[in-house]
Amino acid sequence: MTEENVFPDILKNHMAPKNKLGYLVVRKGELNYVWEDEEDKVYTVDSNHPLVIYPERYHRVILTGAVEFKVEFYRYDDEIIVDKTALRPGENFIK
């Protein structure tokens, strides 16, 4: 996608589906990205800094100029976690 043919819904508040991760990759230029639950933090995504989009978390893309980018989606199954009761230090820092 580019700034000229971007899907309009990407620029609105939306979320990735359950059990799918998005991977935002910028080929040329840069754009901004905001998690709706952290509106005071704006992430700049460029060719050196892709971004993982977590499922079921509201977000939006903000175009800042000429850009070429894509979003890849990857399905994962949370049932593959062998021991859901295992100790996972730092887990409470993850939102």
| Residue-wise pLDDT tens digits, 79-92 | 655 666 766 666 55
∠20-63-93 over CA atoms, to 5°?
A: 45
53, pLDDT greater than 70: yes
Q: Which residue has the tokens 């952290």?
A: 38
Domains of the chain: 8-77 (2.60.120.10)
Is pTM beyond 0.85? Reply is no
pLDDT-derived band at 39, boundaries 50, 70, 90? confident
Hey, is 70 helix, strand or coil? strand
pLDDT-derived band at 94, boundaries 50, 70, 90? low
